[in-house]
Amino acid sequence: MDAGTVARALEDARFDARQGSRHEHLADDTRGRVELAEWERIDRLRAAAAPGTVYDPDTDDVAQAEFAAEAAAAAAREAELREAARVTVRADELQALRELGTLEQTEPREGAKPLGTELTRRAGAYVQADVDTWLAHALAAHLGHYRDPAAREIAVGLLPPPLLAHAALLTELGRLVPAAGVVRLACAAGLATAVPEATADLAAFLTRATEPADTAGSPE
């Protein structure tokens, strides 16, 4: 843009700002003020340049930073939409399995927490015990996404304490009684929901109690 184009744009922005200040319903509209400030900045930038220099946004670091920020925000929104769509599709699959009573036959994928939230939202505001049991069993048995140790570590910061306590207790009970299945260990779910901290403590106690004794070193 040459000097004349910038000057006309600046004058238009000033006119819009004056009009906005005269109308109460436009008093909170910040867009006009932001636009005016930007044209004033561009005018100062052009005035400081050599005579005859035209304004080129490709050489304006401020404009380029704004373009980059807008592109990043658009990409983030697109990623959120894709993730929401993925969660919806997967939730449809799991909801069908729940209704068939075969939820435990599938393995969790990445993003189990938003899936659990979506399934709970569909059913109402209550916690779905079968979904929590499914996730706890998968975490304890290292199924699906939780085969990866890193994923299990991340789960500790994502999943709710009762579910984590349930998984920890299932891990220890499954180690003590390998033949016990999820149905036989249903009591663990109720205990974890009622007293998650005590359940976690019990799991830790079972771990310590069944660890091989350390016989290294000389007795005192």
> 211 pLDDT exceeds 50?
yes
CA angle 153, 154, 160 (to 5 degrees): 100
Rounded Cα–Cα distance for residues 40 and 47 (Å): 10
What is the arithmetic mean of pLDDT over 181-185? Answer: 57
Q: What is the pLDDT of residues 137-152, one digit of tens each?
A: 888 888 888 888 888 8
Q: Report the distance separating Cα 127 and Cα 117, nearest Å.
A: 9
State both tokens at 109.
């994928």
% of the chain surpassing 90 pLDDT: 5
Tens of pLDDT, residues 104-120: 777 777 655 566 667 66
Mean pLDDT of 77-82: 90
Instruction: Assign 207 a pLDDT band (cuts: 50, 70, 90).
Output: confident
SS3 breakdown of the chain: % helix, strand, coil, rounded to 5? 75, 0, 25
* pLDDT, tens only, 8-27: 988 888 887 777 666 665 55
For the stretch 23-73, pLDDT in tens is 665 556 677 788 888 888 888 888 888 888 888 888 888 889 889 999 999
| Residue 144 Cα distances to 93, 125, 151, angstroms | 16, 27, 10
- What's the CA gap between 131 and 47, in Å, rounded? 65
DSSP string of 38-92, one letter each residue: HHHHHHHHHHHSPTTPPP-GGG-HHHHHHHHHHHHHHHHHHHHHHHHHHHHHHHH
**Separation between Cα atoms, residue 164 and residue 188, nearest integer Å:** 11
Dist. CA 89–CA 42, nearest whole Å: 47
Dihedral sign from CA coordinates of 100, 131, 181, 178: positive
Query: Does 172 have pLDDT greater than 80?
Result: yes
User: What mean pLDDT is reported for the chain?
Assistant: 78
